[in-house]
Amino acid sequence: MTIRTTEFTATMPTMPTMPVIDQPKTQQTESNPLAAFFRKSKLSLSLPSRGRWYSKSSLQLNEQGGLDIYAMKADDDIKFRSGDFTLNGKNVYDVIRSCVPGILEPELVPNIDIDAILLGIRAASYGNEFDCIVDVPNTKLSRTVQTNALDLLNAMANQTNTWDEFLQITDESGKSLSLTVAPVPIKNVFETSKFILNQRKALSRAIDKDDNISDETAFSSSIDSLTKSAIDLICMSIRAISVLDANGQVTFTLDASNPQDSAQIMNCVRGLDVAYFYAIRNHIEAQKNKYLFRTVQQTSTPEEILAGAPEVWTAELSFLGSNFLPDNQ
């Protein structure tokens, strides 16, 4: 366990930039005789996160407490389909700004909400029913599954098993590590994905045609960076850490909202026993899994069973990408 120090290792926080909001300009629309024919909200979405982890100023809910979802425009559709839609997230933010104007800072959307938001946009733009291609478990086969977006969104909205923020790990001496964990904003997910992609490229550059390491320094540096990025993503989920003694008394607390503590949390997690690290990671994964969209139960065909598939199964559905958009539309 690391001990809290008074070192000032954190960098100064940067001022958040105000997002550009693509909302209809009322002054202009009032005089436009076509204003009544402007894009209208197609559905109201209940966020899987129920609006937790959003700042007050970053969310504008409608009267029903949901988020108004508008159909995509032609340029949103192009952005959705572009190859680097998920590379740095800029296109994702633009599409959210355009279709979900109630989200004022799309960069800060918790990652557990992103699939529901994109599914809502898809349903508003192309209708509720669509086909998804999913992998049949334990095989190399895939199959097309009919999906109803509204059913999936309603099921998510009615889910009672929500994110559990608290995790306590107690060691054999009775000391406990108490953590508060929250879903990371999608901005961090995109940044980490981009970083991992760049490190993988650097790795491939350090390996020659015969799979030998041509540049050992670059190779080990990339491996080191990849490992750190995986840990850093876990750290980003941690909002607070407290150490409790055997009597349950708090010895010290680190709060991620404090920039100094944020750096300390990172150092603390990096120095943790591997068992603690896995416990934190597994807890976060378990929470994230609660918000996964899944297909309805599928029954394997005799051919699929022969290839190794279980008799019944469900598959995970992800909507962060263009693969669920209809062709030639």
User: What residue ranges bind other proteins (CB under 8 A)?
Assistant: 24, 28-29, 32-35, 37-39, 42, 70-79, 82, 84, 87-88, 90-91, 125, 198, 201, 329
Asked if 182 and 239 touch (Cβ cutoff 8 Å), the reply is yes
Report, in Å, the least distance between residue 49 CB and other proteins: 26
User: Least distance in Å: CB of 107 to other proteins?
Assistant: 14
Q: How many of the other CB atoms lie within 10 Å of CB of 39? A: 13
Output the smallest distance, CB 39 to other proteins, in A.
5
Residue among 153, 169, 202 at smallest CA distance from 46: 153
Residue 69 or 243: the one with the smaller Cβ distance to other proteins is: 69
Cα separation, 221 vs 229, in Å, equals 12
Nearer CB in complex with other proteins: 186/235? 186
Element (H, E) at 60: none
> Least CB distance from residue 297 to other proteins, whole Å?
33
Q: How far apart are CB 28 and other proteins at their closest, in Å? A: 6
Q: How many CA atoms lie within 13 A of 324 on its CB side?
A: 26
Nearer to other proteins, 90 or 208 (CB): 90
Question: Least distance from C-beta 41 to other proteins, angstroms?
Answer: 11
CA distance 88 to 291: 23
Q: How far apart are CA 323 and CA 326, in angstroms?
A: 8
Q: How many CA atoms lie within 13 A of 237 on its CB side?
A: 28
What are φ and ψ of residue 13, in 5° steps? -70, 145
- Of 3 and 36, which has the nearer Cβ to other proteins? 36
CB closer to other proteins out of 178 and 225: 225
Question: What is the closest distance, in whole angstroms, from the C-beta atom of residue 34 to other proteins in the complex?
Answer: 4
Q: How many Cβ atoms from other residues are within 10 Å of residue 234's Cβ?
A: 18
Q: Which is nearer to other proteins, 38 or 278 (CB)?
A: 38
Please identify, using beta-carbon distances, which residue of 163 and 190 lies nearer to other proteins. 190
Whose CA is closest to 241, among 83, 4, 55, 59?
4
């349950």: which residue's tokens?
248
